Structure 1
């Protein structure tokens, strides 16, 4: 850089420099930090980091995981190809990556910057912004079906917590005790072999927010079990008054704008209701949206399954297991179709926010 250019740069106020840099992706900013001491100071200043986070939260990214396996059997010893790619909300590609793995890979979002990957019972933390993966210490073995884990972020401490539920067989046949262990990830911290913390209290049932019921015939007395990541204590929240406990209907939990929501989809008539826990203390639920699925392009009442991924700029981001994502405007109540991403029905999808959070083994 010429002497004249340096003088001109020096005249630009710090706030303007920070504003310009905050529009760059995390990966590019990492390279800019190596240009000069001045740039390093700007790009590590708390003011800049907060500014970049606020901008990133308004322009969240999408992470996709395609796998060559046509099933989710992680005990299968055949090698398969796992393909990652990320885009912004308009489908502009950010990066692609691929690699060979053995067994099926699960993806657990945190709702923030990191994503947890699980392959053959091994957990890894993944930062899509930095394209970094860190293998975590092995968790307790479990015979529970699927992946009984949750991944969350605590903004006040800038820490992530990985919660794992596992079972211990009791003396009585077919009786098990459900236990819980938690791993805390700190920015730049080294994860050691003893990083799992065993909770003394047993898990009352199988959530971090988890849907909980007994047998195959749930009632309106169903409860949602929660785990407070800061106090590491379990609690219960009653369901809203839903009526979809029949074959063909579906329910799941999702976080929208920092609030717990229950998505309740009916087969007949084909509608999706979104309930929001407006008051967590008094446990008051409000039916915020009712979505007419017949207005969704390509909707098939027997084949289409609806997953709400998140909320951005007045729109619900919807995965209907087609080649594209759909965006539902909560004001106009109309859908718009996103760009063609050639998605498969089993493509794993989650939303994340770009972060400088560093991972170390």
Structure 2
């Protein structure tokens, strides 16, 4: 008997599939060989990620349930402000403090039970983990700073590691997920540049950024604040001055970064920093300058928050769904709930308001990322 069931065109089938959650697609891997191959194609990866980013963007919270404990737990927060714990994969143990980065649903993590050089790539949604090979440097330098990001131009994820001596950059290496190899990169223009050790980098628009400083020539006690950037596609470093407001701050011997925060705003690098006059938070965005005589880049202030309540310290983290995600902590002299350190707060960029959500933050050694479930590393699954 002839089958009268209509068959949809492949374009329509693909258009439906790219809109489905990752967990549904994983189940559909066994439907047919064509679908299994389709889900592994770069074009399907990219289109599915595009839809997920617009419709299902999440917050990823790396927090400690027990204050001051090293055991880190991952939580996702959805648009309905529902929080869910993310189960760790078999190979993932305890995270080192601060050692988590997120890009397109792929996490780059460092683990407590591994040597300092050990890094892992992990997609929690599809439960795939891959260990990154050891870097070329054989612990010749005392410390390093790590960054992680993605470039759609070359369709590759990269880890950049800056080796430091006295916290000054002396050598760089980059790992490519596409090749699976480390290689050295030139850091000549970073001579004399100081960056924070550890996981202090921030990815935005195919670039990884650090806050840095450099001695002003002839004034060893005066520091020039800089943005250090690494182009993921070109493997090139550049230096950009901070906004004038920050550059005019009193020179000091230390790089104070805890009050400032690099973020991504409309796919552009931006920076939050406290306004000492208004007692609020300003947002500056790095724009490409239309006047070549003024240099390639310029900073524009686009937002100032209302003054903070005197009883609270507000730490801006990222921009998510056009809102500022902050951690809020009560000052010690004010009474707070027992065993409570802070709350998660969303502040609108278009209205002068703060929305406090019932998401207790037990430790301010907490990291927050924008996150989207994706198929990255699906091609590594063996079925």
- TM-score normalised over the length of structure 2: 0.72
Segment drifting more, 229-238 vs 85-94: 85-94
| Structure 2 unpaired stretches of 5+ | 196-207, 251-255, 290-294, 330-340
Tell me by how many angstroms 1:227 deviates.
1.6
Alignment check: 8 A CA contact 2:317 2:368 kept: no
Alignment check: 8 A CA contact 1:318 1:327 kept: yes
Judged with a 3 Å threshold, the aligned counterparts in structure 2 of structure 1 residues 158 and 320 are, in CA distance, closer, same or farther, namely farther
Alignment check: 8 A CA contact 1:242 1:264 kept: no
Q: Who is 1:239 aligned against? A: 242
Q: Which secondary structure state, in structure 1, belongs to the residue aligned with residue 129 of structure 2?
A: strand
Q: 2:316 aligns with which of 307, 310, 323?
A: 307
Tell me by how many angstroms 1:48 deviates.
4.6
Q: Which secondary structure state, in structure 1, belongs to the residue aligned with residue 174 of structure 2?
A: strand
Q: Who is 2:108 aligned against? A: 116
Judged with a 3 Å threshold, the aligned counterparts in structure 2 of structure 1 residues 41 and 68 are, in CA distance, closer, same or farther, namely closer
Q: Who is 2:283 aligned against? A: 274
Q: 1:25 aligns with which of 21, 26, 49?
A: 21
Q: Does residue 134 in structure 1 map to residue 130 in structure 2?
A: yes
Q: Who is 1:358 aligned against? A: 377
Judged with a 3 Å threshold, the aligned counterparts in structure 2 of structure 1 residues 261 and 176 are, in CA distance, closer, same or farther, namely closer
Q: Does residue 161 in structure 1 map to residue 161 in structure 2?
A: no
Q: Who is 2:333 aligned against? A: none
Q: What do residues 191-237 of structure 1 show as CA deviations (whole Å, max 9, x unaligned)? A: 3xxx2111244443247422222479765x42222222222122111
Q: Does residue 289 in structure 1 map to residue 303 in structure 2?
A: yes
Q: 1:226 aligns with which of 214, 225, 229?
A: 229
Q: Does residue 90 in structure 1 map to residue 80 in structure 2?
A: yes
Q: Who is 1:34 aligned against? A: 30
CA distance in 1, matches of 2:237, 2:43: 36
Q: Which has the higher strand share?
A: 2
Judged with a 3 Å threshold, the aligned counterparts in structure 2 of structure 1 residues 341 and 37 are, in CA distance, closer, same or farther, namely farther
Alignment check: 8 A CA contact 1:178 1:206 kept: no
Q: Which secondary structure state, in structure 1, belongs to the residue aligned with residue 299 of structure 2?
A: strand
Judged with a 3 Å threshold, the aligned counterparts in structure 2 of structure 1 residues 70 and 164 are, in CA distance, closer, same or farther, namely farther
Q: CA RMSD in A?
A: 3.6
CA distance in 1, matches of 2:38, 2:4: 17
Q: Who is 2:212 aligned against? A: 212
Q: What do residues 25-56 of structure 1 show as CA deviations (whole Å, max 9, x unaligned)? A: 22321221211245446645666544322211
CA distance in 1, matches of 2:308, 2:153: 42
Judged with a 3 Å threshold, the aligned counterparts in structure 2 of structure 1 residues 108 and 249 are, in CA distance, closer, same or farther, namely closer
Q: Who is 2:325 aligned against? A: 317
Alignment check: 8 A CA contact 1:107 1:115 kept: no
State the number of aligned residues.
330
Tell me by how many angstroms 1:160 deviates.
0.7
Q: Who is 1:106 aligned against? A: 98
Aligned 1:4-23 pairs, distance under 5 A? 8=5, 10-23=6-19
Judged with a 3 Å threshold, the aligned counterparts in structure 2 of structure 1 residues 16 and 335 are, in CA distance, closer, same or farther, namely farther
Alignment check: 8 A CA contact 1:19 1:51 kept: no
Q: Who is 1:77 aligned against? A: none
Alignment check: 8 A CA contact 2:64 2:362 kept: no
CA distance in 1, matches of 2:95, 2:296: 44
Judged with a 3 Å threshold, the aligned counterparts in structure 2 of structure 1 residues 340 and 224 are, in CA distance, closer, same or farther, namely closer
CA distance in 2, matches of 1:180, 1:101: 28
Q: Which secondary structure state, in structure 1, belongs to the residue aligned with residue 234 of structure 2?
A: coil
Q: Who is 2:63 aligned against? A: 66
Alignment check: 8 A CA contact 1:165 1:206 kept: no
Aligned 1:334-345 pairs, distance under 5 A? 334-340=353-359, 344-345=363-364
- TM-score normalised over the length of structure 1: 0.76
Q: What do residues 291-326 of structure 1 show as CA deviations (whole Å, max 9, x unaligned)? A: 12537xxx734xx241232231x3233333665432
Q: Who is 1:171 aligned against? A: none
CA distance in 1, matches of 2:243, 2:257: 19
